[in-house]
Structure 1
Amino acid sequence: MYRLRKYIHVIVFVLLVAFTWNIHYNPFVGNYLQNYALEVSKDGNLLYEEIKQKSEQFNEEPEDAYIDRVWKKTPGRNGIRVNVKESYEKMKKSGTFNDTDLVFEEISPDVSLSDLKATPIYRGHPKKKMVALLINVSWGTEHLPKILHILKKQNIKATFFLEGKWAKENVDFVKMIDEEGHTIGNHAYNHPDMAKLSNHEIKDQIEQTNEIIKAIIEKDISWFAPPSGSFSEEVVKMADNLQMETILWTVDTIDWKKPSVSVMLNRVTKNIHPGATILMHPTPVIANGLNELITQIKEKGYRIGSIDQLLSEKR
């Protein structure tokens, strides 16, 4: 009896092993799982290939910086390329192509502004739907608090070109402009006609102002706006030798002529364009009309940035 029980245990064990073996190696189950895995892999590859194929219509080549016959130095523009792998990762859950899930990366151009010879800059890239506010400051402080308040409320970064003499006499305002994240540029020392100066005088006007501003904000100055837009080839070369770009403008608010707010607004919005640089000063018409001007520019679909942002190769 004891021996029979022993054999029964062995037989049960063998049957269990055989049953388990059949479950794991059932050809029907195995084939189903294999076909399912192949089907999933096939669908995934199809989606990947679809993304790869369609990405060509979204890719754009980078554009080099160049010197325009009229507008002189013009910044380059990054190209864009679809990152197929990352785009696939975003789409594989749904299993379908969706262009809103495409992941892009930017590609830098081969030629940048710094590679070009010394010439003035009037505008940003003509395809970049951004503009910059250039605020030249060489007298008074009365309207600056209101202007700064509007810029802060609208979350706008502007570029303030400061006269050296004014900066020396208004240190607190220079610090305030810098602390609120605006870019500060050089507007010469005492508003001379730069085109009529000797090389020595040109250098003195720019360097003296750089030293004053740097002593206040502890930053190097990269941008120079000649007073009244008056310059010569020597002025541009001197700025270039001092590692600075010479900045002019494409849209003038003519605020110095004391126009009404409506006239100023109409003049700017009528002439605005991608890459525009908009000249203004801390005058009553700007203090009273800046908020509406910013609103109207935004409504036209433009971003507003500092000169650094406008002239960068970023899209």
Structure 2
Amino acid sequence: VFDKDKLVFQQVPAKIHMEDLDPAPIYRAHPEKPVVSFLINVAWGNEYLQDMLAVLKKNNVKATFFLEGNWTKKNPDLAKMIKGGGHEIGNHSYSHPDMKNISAQATREEIRKTNEVIEAVTGLKMKWFAPPSGSYRDETVKIADSFGMETAMWSVDTIDWQKPSPEVLQQRVLSKIHPGAFILMHPTESTAKSLETLIIEIKKKDLDVVTLSEAVDEERSNP
């Protein structure tokens, strides 16, 4: 009698792994992996953060929050609340500079100080760096790599800082969604009001919403 529980799936490991490659920004996960990730950059927007966390919890979704160091220092309770929700946390610089145009020494300080603050507040070690406004140069990525961190970009932008209506934001995201998408967000009213609809519609497309680390993990989701 056929018993699917007795099937054994063995994944063949890749010959080349991400850590074997030269440091480079990551814009998306594998296009054949049926997942998307919410990348939520936090340097302001406290008034919308708790609503967003409540929606994520209600829908059993984990996101990756990139926290600015200075914001984390001023809002340790909110940072702890993000961690308490089981979300992934990354580094979003200390003072939100244009990383493309600051010195190597200043870049190191921005990343180091933020890592120290976030680790002091949450106990978490940072493995992801998201440069403010997506602005960087090759050296920025190499410096992040020297801290043992990958640089994350995105493939779908909500452009929520322009305060679009929730309908416009939802259409913008859902028209561009694809397997492996990294969706850039901030704590804004537009995103807070759109979040649940986005989660529901994305799941209808047979895509799971997972953290950035889960999205790029070589392990496939369970068949």
Q: TM-score range by the shorter chain?
A: over 0.9
Question: 1:191 aligns to what?
Answer: 96
Task: Map 1:49-128 onto structure 2 (within 5 A).
Answer: 94=1, 102-128=7-33
Question: 1:266 aligns to what?
Answer: 171
Note if 1:211 corresponds to 2:116: yes
Q: Give a deviation string over 1:212-267, Cα, whole Å, max 9, x none.
A: 00001112100000000000011000001110000000000110111111111111
Shift of 1:170: 0.2
Q: Give a deviation string over 1:192-220, Cα, whole Å, max 9, x none.
A: 00000100000000000000000011121
Contact 2:45 2:188 in 1 (8 A): no
The runs of 5 or more residues in structure 1 that have no matched partner are: 1-93
Question: 1:45 aligns to what?
Answer: none
CA distance in 1, matches of 2:155, 2:149: 19
CA distance in 2, matches of 1:283, 1:219: 25
Question: 2:146 aligns to what?
Answer: 241
Note if 1:139 corresponds to 2:36: no
Name the SS of the counterpart of 2:136 in structure 1: coil
Question: 1:164 aligns to what?
Answer: 69
Match of 1:301 among 191, 206, 211: 206
Shift of 1:140: 3.2
Letter of the aligned partner of 2:194 in structure 1?
G
User: Normalising by structure 1, what TM-score?
Assistant: 0.68
Name the SS of the counterpart of 1:122 in structure 2: coil
Identity over the aligned pairs, expressed in percent? 50
Match of 1:282 among 187, 190, 201: 187
Shift of 1:105: 2.0
Shift of 1:99: 6.7
Shift of 1:101: 5.5
CA distance in 1, matches of 2:12, 2:125: 28
Note if 1:226 corresponds to 2:131: yes
The runs of 5 or more residues in structure 2 that have no matched partner are: none
Letter of the aligned partner of 1:271 in structure 2?
K
Structure number with larger C-alpha Rg: 1
Shift of 1:120: 0.6
CA RMSD of aligned residues (A): 1.2
Question: 1:14 aligns to what?
Answer: none
Note if 1:182 corresponds to 2:87: yes
Name the SS of the counterpart of 1:184 in structure 2: strand
Larger helix proportion of the pair = 1
Shift of 1:131: 0.3
Shift of 1:103: 2.3
Q: Give a deviation string over 1:59-106, Cα, whole Å, max 9, x none.
A: xxxxxxxxxxxxxxxxxxxxxxxxxxxxxxxxxxx2xx5778532122
